[in-house]
Every structure is written in structure tokens, then in C-alpha cells.
Structure 1
């Protein structure tokens, strides 16, 4: 068959039971479709697979034109962050429960992925958050240092310490002061992340086509502190005004400890994540299945 793609990289959730055999099966299938296939180096080293050829993330970005991710949404988030700057399309094969962004069940691999490799797919692009933490004040010390930077597909989350009380956060949006929030923390989520931690904190679901973010306080001291939808055109700055042992994480992976006076800057990244879906894929159908809407109703 004629393939729209030439060289596929395969990334797997190597911690999952039986991952070696599943990854080998997917690699053989891709090769049977006429693709050159390479394996993510970390996936290969942790499963004991030496074939196909192993490539680093940067080498995948330079040499491949398709990335197939086998695992769950967490695996896809990690790959998306690492490869966003390369602009490669990502396809998600889910080993377990249906995910929001890994939407091809392993049992449907052959019948679903083959047409996509031939060019019959739907593509969507998702926004990415870029965050950095600064320490020091130019007014008092003469300089400001960037102590940490990271990307997030889902969210940037500022939280209090495990044994400490609430944190007080001074929030500014597009150079305008918003409020001082006293809470267990604060979530800044993309539309992709609106169905993750922000949803648990009472935030709304944002369609991926919306150019906005959800800012949701975690267990706020005042019940009037509600989630708010913000435009993603400007920068959100969150300053640690009070509280001990606060930290910030990006998609619950990259973590940095914070001090009073530290500032978290969040903006829309210049990069976007490209997801490929089977023809006929529907965001609303995914919501119905994942969130059990209309449970018991055949749709």
C-alpha cells in the first residue's frame, strides 16, 4: 500500500506489563505497512529491545515524520512536550482504558491505523503552555534570574507544601492585577488540560478549538474565588506572596520548589502539538465515553 509517511518512531509505556510484546507487535505492523521504523531509545533500553534501531528524542525529531505512542495519556503528554518544537504528528495507541488523546484501542490497531498511515485521518492542533520561574527583583537586587523553565500540554500547577497551610498567590493577567488568592494552590490549564486536574477543581471543560485557559484555585479560602476562563494571548504571572514549601509542576512531571517572592510566568508557547485521529473521530464522543455521559444510552 502507498504510505503518506516514510519513517515512524515508536514510543512505548515500558513500565506497563507485557509492554515488550505489545511494542514489538506494533513495530512489525508498521513495517508491514512499508514504513521505516525506529524505536525511542528509552523505550528500547527499558524493554530490552534492540531492534528496530534506537533513536534519541532529538534524533526522532530530525529523522522521522510520524510518532506512534503506545501507552496512555501520560505517555502521550511526555512525548508531546519533548517533541513539540519539531512539529511531528502524533498518533496514540491505548493499551488500557480509552484516553482523551490516545484514542486507538490496541484491539483495533490493524483496522484503524492502516488507513491513517495511507493518509486517511483527521488532524487537530492543540495549544501548549510555556512556563518559567523567576527569582529576585530588578528593583532591589539589580537582576532577576530564571531558575526553571518547562512546557505543559495539560496544566501548570502551583501547590502548597504537604505539611504547610495555605499559600497566598498574587495573580496578574496581561499586566493587570487580578487578586490575591489564599488557597491550597492554583491551576492554569489549557483546553486539553481542562478535562484533567482543573475539572476536579470545579473548572469548566474547554473545547480544544477555543483560544483560552482555565485558571482554577484549589480549595480556596473564599468560596467566591471561582475558576475563570482567560484569553491565551497574554501572560499570566503568579507571585508567591506567603506560604511555606510551595512548588510548581508542569503536567505533574517537571517540579520546582518555590520561595516567597518567586514568580511563575505562563504564556502560550509558539509550538503546537499535532494529534492525528481516525476518520470520523469526535471530541464530543470522547467526552461521552470518558466521562460516562448518557450512561446506559446507546449512541
Structure 2
């Protein structure tokens, strides 16, 4: 009689080692229910074997202090990855600050459109698990470096991921702007304002002003007037390796906005200098991500097509 040998129990393949061990979470802490969402994501990361930290303002405003609170520079120096939970505005705020450290970011969308926060909140566990172990697509985005000059002196500096916008004040009158590219005069433009947008920002304010959408791989800026006096003054795509100068010639209470999150008031003669930043944003996406999938989904292309 042949003795019966019990079958070996089925064993699952060991999980791949973590690519990202120390992960920071940045949240839109003002949103309803954000505390529970952030706490749930932190528990998930801990269960996956990650060391978890909260961005300082996120931790203080949600009370989730048990994970440790890190400032932006500490995240850049100590963390392998930052998860941004919220909408594109939340991503814009932290991306400008972390780009200089080369810290990769993943966006978990709790907002509305989510062009750059593209992991749906309800799917974060399935999407993040392979990404934490090195299975992802990387997408590098150009940033804008801008400065405001007054009497040959720099009075303001800012970095923008989306756009630099020069706007008229509340008075119902246009502003006049003198535009030059690489020191060559382009035109004096009378309009409600002017947008200089990166490829990332080409789907934001510039799009509503009639500008084209630029693929993120294109090394260019969109320059789009806002309600121009001369109807032949149309948006133009410029190379991003040059320098754009915008001088305020006339107009009341004008201002310069950077990603619509920081701004400075302008006086006549002020010049805004726009150049490409030496830093890039490192965005990580689930494998198979496509920019065209994002456009089709967010802009509702193909709806109604059989």
C-alpha cells in the first residue's frame, strides 16, 4: 500500500521589496472627511511596510500627529515619496516646493477634475500597492521660474507649475503690456491680462482663454491674452528655453499671479521675467497611464459616440 502524502499547502509568492520605504502624506485638510481618508491611507501604507509621515500643516490641522509631522524641507531630505491627497490645487501647492528636492509625487484625487491627481481615491490601495514596489510610469513636468523687477531690482520671486498671469484690477479698464522674447520686442498688448502657461497649465486658465493644449513632453509655453482689444491678438506657443519679459505700461491696480496661489501687486514700469526653472516635477502614475486617457476622461471626449 502506497502511503498517502498530504499535498503541500499553497503558498503565495513573496511580495516584491518596497521601492519607497519612507512616504509622506500631504492632504487637503480643509475638506469634509479628509481626516478619516488620510488616516486610512496612512494605515494602508503602514500595513504595506512603509514608514509614514504627515506634512506639518496636514498633521496639525487634522490632529494626526501620531505619524510625525515634517516640514517641506524635511520631506525633501528624508522621504522617498510624497502622496498628495486632494485635488490639483493641493498638488500645485506642494509640487512647487518639493520639485527642487527631486521627490516623486503621486496624486490621489479627492477633488473635481484631477488632471495631475489621477489616482481615484476609491482605488488607491489597488493602484498604490504595485507602485510602492517600483511598478509605475514616471512623468516629468516643466516648471516656470518668474521674477518681478522694479527699478532694476528684483522685488518678488516665485515658481509656478501651471501659469503666470498678469491681470487688470477691479476697474473696468484694460491694461497695456509690453511683451519681449529674448530681448526682441513682440508687441504692446491691450487686454484684460496675459497668461503664460506651461504644458501642465495649458489645460487650466489658458484653455479658457482660447489657448491650445500642449502635451507635457513639449518644451514650450503658451502665451494667451485675456480678452484682447485687438481680436487678431491670438495665443502663441513659445520655446521654453528663452526668456519672456512682460512690462506693465499702463493700467490700474494690476497684479501678477503665480498658479493663482501667490500674487504681487504691480506698478507702472514693473517687468515680469519668465524663464524655465532648472527643476522638474516628478509625477508617478499607475502603469499604463496615458495623457490622452486623462484628456478623454476629464474633458468628456467621445461622449455620445456609439
In the TM superposition, what whole-angstrom CA distance separates every residue of 1:82-104 from its partner, at most 9, and x where no partner exists? 11110100000011435110000
Out of 138, 151, 156, the residue aligned to residue 159 of structure 2 is 151
Structure 1, 15-24 or 97-106: larger mean CA deviation: 97-106
Alignment of 1:280-299 (within 5 A): 280-297=288-305
Q: Secondary structure at the residue paired with 1:29?
A: helix
| 1:184 matches 2:192 | yes
Q: Which residue of 2 aligns with 1:264?
A: 272
Work out the CA distance in 1 between the residues paired with 2:121 and 2:44.
12
Q: Secondary structure at the residue paired with 2:66?
A: coil
Unpaired stretches in structure 1, ≥5 consecutive residues: 137-143
Q: Which residue of 2 aligns with 1:39?
A: 54
Out of 205, 212, 216, the residue aligned to residue 204 of structure 1 is 212
Moved over 4 A (4+): none
Given that 2:171 and 2:252 are in contact with CA atoms closer than 8 Å, whether structure 1 keeps it comes out as no
Given that 1:160 and 1:166 are in contact with CA atoms closer than 8 Å, whether structure 2 keeps it comes out as yes
Out of 192, 195, 198, the residue aligned to residue 203 of structure 2 is 195
Q: Secondary structure at the residue paired with 1:116?
A: helix
Given that 1:134 and 1:147 are in contact with CA atoms closer than 8 Å, whether structure 2 keeps it comes out as yes
Work out the CA distance in 2 between the residues paired with 1:193 and 1:152.
9
Unpaired stretches in structure 2, ≥5 consecutive residues: 1-14
Structure with the greater alpha carbon radius of gyration: 2
User: TM-score, normalising length from structure 1?
Assistant: 0.96
Deviation of 1:175 after TM superposition, in Å, equals: 1.2
Deviation of 1:18 after TM superposition, in Å, equals: 0.4
Q: Which residue of 2 aligns with 1:58?
A: 73
In the TM superposition, what whole-angstrom CA distance separates every residue of 1:29-68 from its partner, at most 9, and x where no partner exists? 1111111110001001111111201001111111101000
Deviation of 1:200 after TM superposition, in Å, equals: 0.1
Deviation of 1:262 after TM superposition, in Å, equals: 0.1
In the TM superposition, what whole-angstrom CA distance separates every residue of 1:191-222 from its partner, at most 9, and x where no partner exists? 00000000000000000000000000000001
Q: Secondary structure at the residue paired with 1:51?
A: helix
Q: Which residue of 2 aligns with 1:277?
A: 285
CA RMSD of superposed structures (Å) = 0.9
Deviation of 1:164 after TM superposition, in Å, equals: 4.4
In the TM superposition, what whole-angstrom CA distance separates every residue of 1:151-189 from its partner, at most 9, and x where no partner exists? 000000000001241000000001110000000000000
Count of aligned positions: 291
Q: Which residue of 2 aligns with 1:215?
A: 223
Alignment of 1:70-219 (within 5 A): 70-136=85-151, 144-219=152-227
Work out the CA distance in 2 between the residues paired with 1:117 and 1:98.
25
Deviation of 1:13 after TM superposition, in Å, equals: 0.2
Work out the CA distance in 2 between the residues paired with 1:232 and 1:221.
26
Given that 1:164 and 1:245 are in contact with CA atoms closer than 8 Å, whether structure 2 keeps it comes out as no
Q: Secondary structure at the residue paired with 1:230?
A: strand
Alignment of 1:223-242 (within 5 A): 223-242=231-250
Given that 2:88 and 2:111 are in contact with CA atoms closer than 8 Å, whether structure 1 keeps it comes out as no
User: TM-score, normalising length from structure 2?
Assistant: 0.94
